[in-house]
Each structure stands twice: as C-alpha cells, then as structure tokens.
Amino acid sequence: MAAVSAPELLEAKFGLPRGVRFCARCVISNQRPSSTVEFEHTPDSKKETIHFDAAGVCDACRFAELKDTHVDWKERERELLDLLARHRRSDGGYDVLVPGSGGKDSVYASHLLKHKYGMNPLTVTWAPHIYTEVGWRNFQSWIHAGFDNYLHTPNGRVHRTLTRLAFENLLHPFQPFIFGQKAFPPKFAAQAGIPLVIYGENEVEYGNPHAEAATPRRDARYFTREHRIEEMHLGGVRVPELARHGVTVKDLEPYIPADPSVLTEKKIDVHYLGYYLKWVPQECYYYAVEHAGFEANTERTEGTYSKYNSIDDRIDGLHYFTTYIKFGLGRASYDAAQEIRNHHLTRAEGVTLVRRFDGEVPRKWLKENLDYMGITETRFWELIDQFRSPHLWQRVGDTWVLRHQVS
C-alpha cells in the first residue's frame, strides 16, 4: 500500500494526474483523456483529462445532469428547425451530409433528419480498418432502409502502415480511423457542395470540456488545418519522416483536414444533433432496430458486457484494450459510465461489470489485427508493457495488476 499512499513518487506517463480518483456518480476515473487534436499527438504529448468538481463528480456526469434538468429541449428543437429551414432544398439536391457507419447513432440521426424533419441527407462513411460481418450487414441495412451513401475506403497499404506506427509510437491503433472520421466529412462536404454537416452525438457526452457543449457547432480544431502539412504528425511521426516508412504526402489526402479558408468560402457548417435533441444511446439503438433493421451482436463484445456499441471494426477491441493499458479504463468502463449517466445502470452494477470485463484481452481478432499491422505477438506484448504507466500498474509475481480499481 505504500505506493498508493505516496503516488507522487511514481512516474505518471502521458501527463496523467498522479493521484487516481473515480467519479462519485459513474465509474470513470480522472485519468480519462479528452479528445485531442490528433495531428499534434506525439510520444511526448501531455494529455488533458476529464475534470472532476469539488464534489468528486466528473464533467460528463454534470453534463448528463444538465441534460436532465436545465436544458430547454423544446427551445433547442426550435433552433434545429431554424437551422434546417435555412438549408432545406426543394430542387431535389442533397441538403445535409450525415457522417456515420450505419451504427445506431448515425442511423438515428439520418432517419430522423429525413423522415421527421424533411431533409434530403447524403450519408458518408469513412471505412473501418477491417469490417466485422455484423458491421457490414448494418452498413448495408442502413443504405437499404432508404439512404444514399458515399463510402470512402483509404488505401489499405497506407492505412496499415499508419496503424502500425500509431500502435508502436502511441499505443493508439485507432488513430488513423479518427483522422478520417474527423477530417474527411467536412472536406467531402466542401467538394460535394453540401454546406450543412450534422454529426450525431457530442464528445462532451463522454467528458470533453463543457465549453464545447455551449455551442451546437463542432470545434473546428478537429477538422481544419492549423499547421503546415510538414508540421503535422501521423502515427506520432512528422509528415516528412513518413517517407522512411513508404508513405509520402501524396498518400495523405483523406487524412489531412481541410484548409480553413476553403471551408469558410464554401460556408461549411458542422453541427451536432446531440446539441438539439436529447441523446440517449440506448434509445438510438431501439430506434435503429425498428427503422433500419439494425442488428446487435449475438454475443457480448470482448472487454465489455454490451452487444451494440461500436461493433463494426475488428480493431475496436484492441483500441479499448490500449485505453485500459494507458489510462486504466477499458471498454466496460466507458460503456458502464455512459449507461449510469443515462439511468440504465446503477453505479454498483457498473462497478461489478467493470471489475468483471474491463481489460479482457481481445483475443477474437488479435491475430488478425497483428497481421494487419505486421507485428508479432511477442512484439505486441513488449509494446503493451512499455506503455503501462508506473502510477497505474504494478507487477505482482508474473502478472500486471492495476493499483487502483473502481469500487
């Protein structure tokens, strides 16, 4: 226990807070990083983490409380109607771009915009690293439920290389997906001449700073270019140095965010539907099942207890395993925290689920993920252990255990 009572003596990697605390209401800890601008992400980056207030409650729980008690949702819907009225077209052209995968949230957003609000959406998808079968079926079901879709699949050789670099340098194999998910739709909107882009939920739901929730607009830092391309990092490597890995600037088109002046000139306006409508993931799920034939998995997802969140990419399980290693927060922590905030679980139930499932090794597709990245399993475990922060992990016999677990 000496280590726990003297946390200041233990190194905290990634700029994480040395003292580990868990939210009084949900199961998230103060180690949870906020969304970052991935192009600035290097092995030396310091994380910004979720804020806890004096009562020991996290920002995401406070945000959920505001949604329940303070937000005037009728007024918010009127704001949405105004926004849509300004963009709605009567000439048959697309009037809103809805980015998504055909998962529950994008199905909900696109279906509501089309059928409740009379818009004519074009949906756009940035492909997962490796589709799961259920993910591909849900993607097809979405289209067959009545939507045009543009699927953008990045160059597999480049995407695999960037995934390997992101794994080796940042333990962040999901990073190449995030680049495209954030950068590609607004850029595509400019090319397609569809000024209004509407995403589903806001990252604030999961603990980004509250200031980002005060506006319906997505923070442009996430999808515009503030730096010269040469100064950007992908997979933790500066763009000019990617050439050593066989990736040149010509390969990076779908990853590089738009030039802000182009988005201004084309009047591209990026919003969250979650600002205007109260976002409850479980309700999105039921809605997607009813209106678009969305299927949950037949078995629970590795690392958690749920069956319908983020099930379209075979690399998802690995992604959450890396968050467990780096921050002590695995997939069950993220799922349970969200369901506690939406009153579908008690905190005690959440704690039990986290202790049971968080950190389960994602064996199902591990071999395929490693082959995809070109990494051996021995090398995989070496890298995993390199990224364990001493303030979170200790070696007991021949296993690693977390120093702090939610209780």
Q: Which residues bind to Zn ion, rule: CB under 5 A?
A: 23, 25-26, 58, 61
d(CA 159, CA 164): 9
Tell me the residue type at 58: C
Nearest distance, CB of residue 274 and Zn ion, angstroms = 18
Nearest distance, CB of residue 65 and Zn ion, angstroms = 10
Q: In sequence order, what are the residues at sequence separation of 6 or more whose Cβ sits closer than 8 angstroms to the Cβ of residue 109?
A: 98, 100, 198, 199, 200, 273
Tokens representing 264 are 């201004």
For residue 237, CA distances in Å to 157, 161, 193, 219, 242 come to 17, 11, 33, 24, 6
Range 74-98 burial, b when 16+ CB lie within 10 A, else e: eeeeeebeebbeeeeeeeeebbbbb
Q: Please, which residue, 25 or 182, has the CB nearer to Zn ion?
A: 25
Q: Please, which residue, 206 or 372, has the CB nearer to Zn ion?
A: 206
Gyration radius of the chain's alpha carbons: 21
Q: Please, which residue, 26 or 190, has the CB nearer to Zn ion?
A: 26
d(CA 30, CA 289): 34
Q: Please, which residue, 23 or 112, has the CB nearer to Zn ion?
A: 23
Nearest distance, CB of residue 301 and Zn ion, angstroms = 22
d(CA 391, CA 331): 20
Q: Please, which residue, 158 or 329, has the CB nearer to Zn ion?
A: 329
Surface-to-core class of residue 266, CB atoms within 10 Å of its CB (0-12 exposed, 13-18 middle, 19+ buried): middle
d(CA 344, CA 231): 44
d(CA 207, CA 53): 12
Nearest distance, CB of residue 327 and Zn ion, angstroms = 15
Nearest distance, CB of residue 377 and Zn ion, angstroms = 35
Q: Please, which residue, 2 or 211, has the CB nearer to Zn ion?
A: 211
Distance from chain centroid for Cα 124? 17
Nearest distance, CB of residue 22 and Zn ion, angstroms = 8
Nearest distance, CB of residue 171 and Zn ion, angstroms = 25
Q: In sequence order, what are the residues at sequence separation of 6 or more whose Cβ sits closer than 8 angstroms to the Cβ of residue 230?
A: 238, 239, 240
Nearest distance, CB of residue 108 and Zn ion, angstroms = 24
Nearest distance, CB of residue 27 and Zn ion, angstroms = 8
Q: Please, which residue, 58 or 263, has the CB nearer to Zn ion?
A: 58
Q: Please, which residue, 23 or 280, has the CB nearer to Zn ion?
A: 23
Q: How many residues does the chain have?
A: 407
Nearest distance, CB of residue 32 and Zn ion, angstroms = 9
Tracing tokens 């909107």 back to the chain, one arrives at: 189
Nearest distance, CB of residue 57 and Zn ion, angstroms = 6
Tokens representing 268 are 């591209």
* Helices of type H across 94-132: 104-111
* Helices of type H across 145-272: 156-170, 175-192, 260-265
Please answer whether residues 312 and 138 qualify as being in contact, where contact means their C-beta atoms are separated by less than 8 angstroms.
yes
Q: Please, which residue, 35 or 123, has the CB nearer to Zn ion?
A: 35
d(CA 110, CA 115): 9
Tell me the residue type at 70: H
Q: Please, which residue, 52 or 188, has the CB nearer to Zn ion?
A: 52
Q: Please, which residue, 23 or 166, has the CB nearer to Zn ion?
A: 23
